C-alpha cells in the first residue's frame, strides 16, 4: 500500500486527505522520522511529540500565507515533511542538506532562522503588527514550548500584545520538558492549568446552552465574564488572560481530529488566543518516551530497540571532563556553586545536580538572568560561582556580562561549552564570536585548554585569579592525562615545539592540527615553533616578544571568527610592540555565517585542515621561507 506521506508535496496535498486518514498519516510520519534519525541523529523526541499538532496546523491554515513561526524550531521536522522536503529528508543536518531548524532560504514556509528559544513571540508580534498596518488579513501562528515562557523575552512580547489583535494564535506545546526537565514557577502554573481542565469543558458547555436561548449572544457574553472569574478562582489561566489572551485548554495534543476542530473554532476570534496543547515528548517510540532527555538531540540508534549506537572514540569529551572535574571540586569545596540556563544535560552537570541540588541551579531558558544571578551569587565572595553556558547562548547575556559581572569586578567563572564549530546544528549554534566580545570587556580573562588536563588545571586555578574568567572549549573528544594538576598562572603560554623563523600560535584544540601542520612543514625543510597561548586575554606578552626576536613569520590558527579573535589580538599586540617587519597569516573562521554539517566537512570548507593550512603557509611565505631555511 502506497504511503500517504509520499503523496504530500505541499500543504495543499495534505488538505485533500480525509480526516479519518490523518491518524495513519501521523504513524507514517513518525516512522519516517525514526528511520532517518536512526542513521543521521537529530532532534528526535521533540519531533515525535509534535506530529499531530503540526499536521493539524497545516490542515487548518494556509502556509505560507498564514505565518507559522516556531520557537527554537528544532521541532519542525514534521513541518518540513509536509512542505515539500520529504524527498530530501535523509539529508537533515548533513553538509549541504536540510537544516535541522527553520531556514528561510530552504523554503517559503520557513520565515526566520531560529535556533534560540524565546524569539517566536516577539517575531510573531512584529509580523502581525506589520500585517495590520499594511491591511493584511493572514493569520500569524506562534508555536512555543512550555519552556519558552521561562524566557523573559517571551513575557516582554506578551506584555506588548494588546487585547484586540485578531488572527493571532499562540500554540503552547506543553510537554513538560525543554532539553532537561523544566524548572521554575511558570512550570507550576502550567501544572495547575493541566490539573483543572474541567473549567474549560464547563465554559464550552455553558456557551452552547446559552446560545440556544433568546438573547443568547448577550447572555453568552455575560456568562463568559462570570465563568472567567470562576475559572480564575480554580486555575491559573488568569496569568495568561491578564495579557489579553483568550485561554483554551488544556487539550490532547495527540488527538489530530480534536486539534483540527479546536483550531477551526478559534479562527474567527476577536482576541488573541492561546491554545494549551498537552503532548508527550517521544510519542510513538518507547525508548524516547522513557528517556526524553537523552533522546532530545539523539545520536544514531537502533530503530528497533531505540538503543544508541556506541561511539567510535573511547576518549572523553571536553564537556564530560568539565562535569566530572567540577563535581570533584565540589566534593572538596562546599563553596562551589554551578548555574546553568537549561543546559544541565548537555553541559554534563546532571551528576552534580543530583548530588548537590542546592548548589547546582538550573534557572531555565534565561541566559541573561543566569549571568546576572551569578553576579549576585558571587557578591561578597562567600561562594565560588561557575556559570556553565554554551558560547553561542552567552551572546544573549552580553549586557549582563558587562554591567553585572565585569563592571562589578565579580570573580564568576564562565565555562563556555561548544566553543567552536557546532557541526550539524549550524549557524545559530556555532560558538565562534565569544572571544571578540569577551575581549572588549575590562577585567575579563579568556582561556582555552588544548586537552582535558589543561581544562582541569584551568578550572582548579580560575578562582585564584579573582576576576571574571571565561574558559571556552568545544564539544569533542580529547586526551586527558592522569598527571598531577599544576597551578596555571594567569596569562602564561607554553612552547610545545621549538623551531626557528616561523612561529605558529594555535589556540586550544587547534594545537592538535598545528602539530600535523608542523610535521608537514618539516617535509619541506621548515622547522616551526609551536606556541599554545592558553590565555587569549591577557596574552603572554613577555613570551611572544621574546619569540619575535628570532621569528619573522607568524601564523595564528583558531576555530573562531578571524574578525575579533586570537589573530586580531595577536596582530594588535605586534603593532603595539613595534614588530613592524613581522609578516602574519591569520587562519580561522571566515567572516560569514557558516552552515551545518559534519565537523570534518565544515573544517574542510573553511580551510582549517592540516593540508590546507600547510598549503596556505607555503603559498603566503614561499619565497621568504625558502631563503630562511
In this structure, the strands spanning 297-298 and 42-43 are antiparallel
238 contacts 263 by C-beta, under 8 angstroms:
no
Measured CA to CA, the distance from residue 569 to residue 583 in angstroms comes to: 15
The residues near 246 (Cβ < 8 Å, ≥ 6 apart) are 266, 269, 271, 272, 273, 274
β-sheet bridge partners, residue 336: 384
- Alpha-carbon dihedral sign for residues 82, 84, 89, 95: negative
549 contacts 509 by C-beta, under 8 angstroms:
no
The residues near 231 (Cβ < 8 Å, ≥ 6 apart) are 196, 199, 200, 203, 237
β-sheet bridge partners, residue 278: 174, 252
Measured CA to CA, the distance from residue 469 to residue 466 in angstroms comes to: 9
Q: How is residue 307 written as a grid cell?
A: 538503543
619 contacts 587 by C-beta, under 8 angstroms:
no
β-sheet bridge partners, residue 531: 495, 505
Measured CA to CA, the distance from residue 520 to residue 524 in angstroms comes to: 7
- The per-residue DSSP string of 449-503 comes to -SSHHHHHHHHHHGGGS-S-EEEE--SSB-----PPP----TT--EEEE--SEEE
User: Residues 514-517: contacts with CB within 8 Å, 24+ apart?
Assistant: 514/557, 514/613, 516/610, 517/557, 517/610, 517/613, 517/614, 517/617
The secondary element (H helix, E strand) that includes residue 15 is helix 11-15
For residue 532, the 8-state DSSP code is E
Measured CA to CA, the distance from residue 163 to residue 151 in angstroms comes to: 22
Measured CA to CA, the distance from residue 596 to residue 95 in angstroms comes to: 6
Residues designated as active site: 281, 367, 396
Sheet holding 551-561, edge to edge: 494-497, 529-532, 501-506, 551-561, 583-589
Measured CA to CA, the distance from residue 595 to residue 592 in angstroms comes to: 10
Measured CA to CA, the distance from residue 344 to residue 353 in angstroms comes to: 8
Q: Is 523 exposed, middle or buried (0-12, 13-18, 19+ CB in 10 A)?
A: exposed
**481542565: which residue's cell?**
197
CB atoms within 10 A of CB 522: 12
Measured CA to CA, the distance from residue 260 to residue 18 in angstroms comes to: 12
Dmax (CA) for the chain in angstroms is 101
Amino acid at each position: 500500500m502506497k504511503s500517504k506521506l509520499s503523496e504530500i508535496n505541499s500543504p495543499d496535498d495534505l488538505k485533500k486527505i480525509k480526516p479519518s486518514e490523518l491518524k495513519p498519516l501521523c504513524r507514517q510520519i513518525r516512522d519516517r522520522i525514526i528511520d532517518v534519525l536512526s542513521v543521521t541523529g537529530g532532534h528526535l523526541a521533540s519531533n515525535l511529540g509534535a506530529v499531530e499538532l503540526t499536521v493539524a496546523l497545516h490542515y487548518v491554515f494556509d502556509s505560507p500565507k498564514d505565518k507559522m513561526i516556531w520557537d527554537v524550531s528544532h521541532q519542525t521536522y514534521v513541518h518540513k515533511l509536509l512542505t515539500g522536503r520529504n524527498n530530501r529528508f535523509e539529508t537533515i543536518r548533513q553538509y549541504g542538506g536540510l537544516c535541522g531548524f527553520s531556514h528561510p532560504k530552504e523554503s517559503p514556509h520557513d520565515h526566520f532562522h531560529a535556533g534560540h528559544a524565546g524569539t517566536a513571540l516577539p517575531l510573531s508580534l512584529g509580523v502581525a503588527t506589520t500585517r495590520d498596518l499594511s491591511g493584511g488579513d493572514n493569520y500569524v501562528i506562534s508555536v512555543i514550548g512550555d519552556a519558552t515562557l521561562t524566557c523573559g523575552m517571551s513575557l516582554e512580547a506578551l506584555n506588548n500584545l494588546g487585547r484586540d489583535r485578531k488572527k493571532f494564535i499562540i500554540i503552547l506545546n506543553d510537554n513538560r520538558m525543554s532539553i532537561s526537565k523544566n524548572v521554575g514557577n511558570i512550570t507550576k502554573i502550567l501544572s495547575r492549568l493541566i490539573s483543572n481542565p474541567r473549567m474549560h469543558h464547563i465554559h464550552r458547555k455553558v456557551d452552547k446552552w446559552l446560545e440556544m436561548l433568546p438573547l443568547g449572544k448577550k447572555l453568552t457574553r455575560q456568562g463568559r465574564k462570570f465563568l472567567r472569574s470562576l475559572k480564575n478562582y480554580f486555575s491559573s489561566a488568569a496569568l495568561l488572560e491578564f495579557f489579553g489572551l483568550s485561554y483554551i485548554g488544556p487539550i490532547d495534543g495527540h488527538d489530530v481530529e480534536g486539534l483540527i476542530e479546536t483550531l477551526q473554532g478559534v479562527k474567527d476570534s476577536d482576541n488573541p488566543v492561546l491554545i494549551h496543547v498537552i503532548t508527550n515528548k517521544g510519542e510513538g517510540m518507547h525508548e524516547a518516551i522513557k528517556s526524553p532527555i537523552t533522546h532530545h538531540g539523539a545520536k544514531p540508534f537502533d530503530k528497533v530497540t531505540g538503543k544508541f549506537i556506541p561511539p567510535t572514540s573511547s576518549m572523553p569529551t571536553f564537556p564530560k571532563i568539565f562535569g566530572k572535574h567540577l563535581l570533584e571540586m565540589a566534593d572538596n569545596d562546599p563553596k562551589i556553586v554551578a548555574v546553568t540556563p537549561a543546559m544541565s544535560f548537555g553541559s554534563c552537570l546532571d551528576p552534580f545536580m543530583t548530588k548537590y541540588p542546592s548548589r547546582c541551579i538550573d534557572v531555565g531558558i534565561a541566559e541573561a538572568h543566569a549571568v546576572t544571578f551569578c553576579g549576585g551569587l558571587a557578591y561578597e565572595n562567600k561562594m565560588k560561582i561557575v556559570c556553565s553556558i554554551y558560547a553561542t547562548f552567552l551572546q544573549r547575556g552580553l549586557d549582563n556580562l558587562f554591567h553585572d559581572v565585569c563592571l562589578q569586578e565579580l570573580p564568576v567563572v564562565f565555562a563556555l561549552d561548544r566553543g567552536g564549530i557546532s557541526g550539524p546544528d549550524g549557524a545559530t549554534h556555532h560558538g565562534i564570536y565569544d572571544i571578540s566580545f569577551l575581549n572588549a570587556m575590562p577585567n575579563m580573562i579568556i582561556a582555552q585548554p588544548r586537552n582535558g588536563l589543561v581544562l582541569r588545571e584551568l578550572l582548579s586555578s580560575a578562582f585564584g585569579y579573582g576576576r571574571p574568567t571565561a574558559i571556552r572549549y568545544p564539544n569533542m573528544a580529547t586526551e586527558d592525562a592522569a598527571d598531577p594538576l599544576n597551578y596555571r598562572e594567569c596569562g602564561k603560554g607554553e612552547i610545545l615545539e621549538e623551531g626557528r623563523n616561523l612561529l605558529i600560535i594555535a589556540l586550544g584544540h587547534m594545537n592538535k592540527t598545528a602539530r600535523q601542520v608542523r610535521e608537514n612543514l618539516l617535509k619541506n625543510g621548515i622547522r616551526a615553533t609551536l606556541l599554545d597561548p592558553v590565555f587569549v586575554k591577557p596574552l603572554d606578552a613577555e613570551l611572544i616578544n621574546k619569540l619575535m626576536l628570532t621569528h619573522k613569520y607568524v601564523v595564528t590558527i583558531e576555530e573562531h571568527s578571524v574578525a575579533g579573535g586570537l589573530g586580531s589580538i595577536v596582530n594588535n599586540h605586534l603593532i603595539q610592540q613595534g614588530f613592524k617587519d613581522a609578516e602574519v597569516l591569520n587562519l580561522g573562521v571566515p567572516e560569514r555565517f557558516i552552515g551545518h554539517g559534519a565537523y570534518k566537512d565544515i573544517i574542510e570548507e573553511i580551510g582549517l585542515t592540516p593540508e590546507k593550512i600547510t598549503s596556505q603557509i607555503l603559498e603566503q611565505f614561499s619565497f621568504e621561507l625558502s631563503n630562511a631555511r
